[in-house]
Amino acid sequence: MPLELQEFNAETDFPAIARCLFESYEDPPQKFFHVFFPTHGTGEKAREDAIEEAATRLKLWHTHDPSSHWQKVVDTDTGKIAGGALWNIHNENPFANPATVPVTWFPDDGSRRFVEKALQNHSAPRSRAAQRPHVYLFIIFTHPDYRRRGVGQQFMDWGMKKADELGYDFFLDSTPYGRPLYEANGFVYVEENINIPKTDNPDEKWKDVEEKVGPFTFWLMWRPVGGKYEEGKTIKPWEQN
Ligand SMILES: CC(C)(COP(=O)(O)OP(=O)(O)OC[C@H]1O[C@@H](n2cnc3c(N)ncnc32)[C@H](O)[C@@H]1OP(=O)(O)O)[C@@H](O)C(=O)NCCC(=O)NCCS
């Protein structure tokens, strides 16, 4: 079963990559996923609608964001997508004039306010540490049928090489499931980010999504240019004056 890293076809690949994304984050389920890719309602139809919406939105984001770079790993025996990765190659400080992403994937009520706040909280540690050009791994997933066969590592190898070629730091926000992969690649913890959106006046829609998602934790992780980190010696760029 050869698993090959391939460039992405933005015209044709989004429906299959969105399905693989859902199947990857459903096993095991991760509650925060609802913030980025919600299923509104229950049952198979609602899930199919959610995958279709995700495919459309991912394509739109990709088309409008020059920093966006998608990749896939394909099982060349079957043609099935085994995993995907979405990179942002930031050639400039993205936090100098941060683009606000309209949260179109939630209705314009308290649920959208919750998600807007959750997204702000999510990027807060990186907005402090990564005020310079950098490589950011936004999304990575391997389908459950293909785990522990080096799919994630193929993406990481590509990203580390790219960051070194460009002379950029490499940042990512890690789920608990991603940590072993990043630790195996020498990434350093920067900050724990326990995401609990707050408002003074939560309405029922806010409370519904809050209950569904709960507090969720990511860890901002960093790899310096060249990948060689020595505690107490390597300078963390965001700690420099
Ligand atoms: C995280 C994820 C992408 C890893 O993908 P993968 O293709 O299974 O990872 P690889 O096979 O390339 O693993 C490379 C190395 O990382 C480490 N590693 C990866 N998954 C591991 C696990 N579950 N337990 C322990 N070590 C692990 C190992 O050192 C592994 O090398 P080895 O198999 O030779 O021991 C996958 O588990 C996944 O999609 N999880 C759900 C979605 C998610 O949370 N994504 C992370 C977002 S930050």
Closest CA to ligand 1's atom 26: 180
State residue 100's pLDDT score. Answer: 82
Q: Nearest CA to 103 among 111, 93, 94, 91?
A: 111
Residues with CB under 6 A from ligand 1: 24-25, 83, 140-142, 147-153, 174-175, 177-178, 180-181, 184
CA–centroid distance, 152 to ligand 1, in Å, is 6
Report whether pLDDT(208) > 70. Answer: yes
Query: Which residue has the least CA distance to atom 17 on ligand 1?
Result: 181
pLDDT in tens, 71-85: 999 999 999 999 999
Residue nearest to atom 39 of ligand 1 (CA): 141
Distance 182 CA to ligand 1 centre (A): 8
What's the pLDDT band for 99 if we cut at 50, 70, 90?
A: confident
- Position in ligand 1 atom list of the atom nearest CA 154: 12
Name which residue sits closest to atom 21 of ligand 1, judged by CA. Answer: 180
Nearest-CA residue for atom 36 of ligand 1: 142
Tell me: pLDDT of 173 over 90.
yes
Domain ranges of the chain: 3-239
Mean pLDDT across the stretch 171-195?
Answer: 97
Residue 241 has pLDDT above 80, yes or no: no
100 or 19, greater pLDDT: 19
- Tens digits of residue pLDDT in 34-87: 999 999 999 999 999 999 999 999 999 999 999 999 999 999 999 999 999 999
1, pLDDT greater than 80: no
- What CATH class has 3-239? alpha beta
Q: Render pLDDT for 108-165 as a digit per residue (tens, 0 to 9).
A: 999 999 999 999 999 999 999 999 999 999 999 999 999 999 999 999 999 999 999 9
